[in-house]
Amino acid sequence: MARVAIVTGGTRGIGKAICESLRDSGVTVVANYGGNDQAAQNFTAETGIKAYKWDVGDHEAAAQGCAKVAEEVGDIDIVVNNAGITRDGVLHKMSYDDWHEVMRINLGGCFNMAKACFPGMRERKWGRIVNIGSINGQAGQYGQVNYAAAKSGIHGFTKALAQEGARAGVTVNAIAPGYIDTDMVAAVPEPVLEKIVAKIPVGRLGQAGEIARAVDFLCSEEAGFVTGSTMSVNGGQHMY
Ligand code: NDP
């Protein structure tokens, strides 16, 4: 029987590409999204993939959403924690709400989804969790103390949970994308973006599909020996 995957923030950008790639690999995929119903409707019309709305940062909503997916589609074998937001600003101008909202959704969302799905994976002795971090969680970024802290937290979360899942056949890995051509990056002012692209050795932004293929590998049967790792997919912008 096909594995069942849920991709948070799966209706747009990188998440959409991940959904399509997993589906093409024979996985039964559903997407979650936060609030943009129109984008979700367009996504389902275009891909045929079901989309479920809940706020990943809401612990109860994530638990209920995952239970609904399990009931309607099947036990969840694969979770891709991709949903993320930015609320950029230098520290002295950043509000507590902007700090908290980014931590709540970007990092809290990973906890909430894992709480809902990891126990079942352990019981069934197979699971894949892939968390989408960021180059800015590895290297830091001016004007992003909230985002960089949340993404850096994802990398620690990944290594800790990987240790808890290893004996039970559940792998937990992270991808750290560099700058990818999506709505999130379209929000970066053009002059800033030009400076960023000038620092990318391959000389261009990444494509969502290039992240998706890496996720696809980490979710595959063949990737059972890869756990606790962070794969950088960033055009060589940050190497360590
Ligand atoms: P987009 O802004 O294009 O899409 C974000 C997705 O997340 C949407 O589907 C959105 O749903 C969903 N989402 C937002 N908030 C919530 C929430 N509270 N609950 C559920 N879903 C939510 O983002 P990208 O595709 O660019 O980014 C995807 C991931 O990759 C993010 O985690 C981002 O931080 C990370 N990343 C992106 C990079 C880039 O260059 N683009 C670089 C490094 C990391 P809705 O449509 O309803 O708003």
- Is the distance from the beta carbon of residue 57 to the nearest atom of ligand 1 less than 6 Å? yes
Does residue 238 lie in a domain region? Answer: no
Q: What is the mean pLDDT of the chain?
A: 97
Tell me, in angstroms, the distance from the centre of ligand 1 to residue 167's CA: 31
Q: Which atom of ligand 1 is nearest to the CA of 57?
A: 18
Tell me, in angstroms, the distance from the centre of ligand 1 to residue 183's CA: 9
Give residue 102's pLDDT band: very low, low, confident or very high (50, 70, 90).
very high
Give strand pairing partners of 7: 31, 80
Does residue 237 lie in a domain region? Answer: no
Is pLDDT above 80 for 131? yes
Does residue 75 lie in a domain region? Answer: yes
Query: For residue 1, what pLDDT is reported?
Result: 84
Query: For residue 187, what pLDDT is reported?
Result: 87
Lowest mean pLDDT among 130-134, 191-195, 226-230, 235-239: 191-195
For the chain, what's the residue count? 240
Does residue 39 lie in a domain region? Answer: yes
The backbone torsions φ and ψ at residue 135, rounded to the nearest 5 degrees and listed phi first, read: -55, -30
Query: For residue 137, what pLDDT is reported?
Result: 97
Taking the chain, what is the end-to-end CA distance rounded to the nearest angstrom? 39
Tell me, in angstroms, the distance from the centre of ligand 1 to residue 85's CA: 6
CA distances from 118 to 66, 123, 204 (A): 11, 9, 37
Global confidence as pTM = 0.98
Does residue 142 lie in a domain region? Answer: yes
Domain hosting residue 218, numbered range: 4-232
Residue 142 DSSP one-character state: T
Could you list the active site residues? 147
Task: Return the number of other C-beta atoms located less than 10 Å from residue 163's C-beta.
Answer: 11
Is pLDDT above 80 for 237? yes
Is pLDDT above 90 for 58? yes
CATH of the domain at 224: 3.40.50.720
Question: Is the ipTM reported for this complex over the cut 0.90?
Answer: yes
- Is the distance from the beta carbon of residue 233 to the nearest atom of ligand 1 less than 6 Å? no
Choosing from 20, 85, 232 the residue with most ligand 1 atoms within 8 A of its CB, the one to mutate for a pocket test is: 85
Contact 179, 219 (CB under 8 A): no
Q: Which atom of ligand 1 is nearest to the CA of 84?
A: 32
Is pLDDT above 90 for 53? yes
Instruction: Tell me which H or E stretch contains 127.
Output: strand 127-132
Total domains, the chain? 1
Give residue 240's pLDDT band: very low, low, confident or very high (50, 70, 90).
confident
Does residue 66 lie in a domain region? Answer: yes
The rounded percent of the chain whose pLDDT value lies above 70 is 100
Give residue 153's pLDDT band: very low, low, confident or very high (50, 70, 90).
very high
Does residue 137 lie in a domain region? Answer: yes
Task: Tell me the average pLDDT across 62-87.
Answer: 98
Contact 50, 44 (CB under 8 A): yes
Task: Tell me the average pLDDT across 53-61.
Answer: 98
- Is the distance from the beta carbon of residue 16 to the nearest atom of ligand 1 less than 6 Å? no
Is pLDDT above 80 for 192? yes
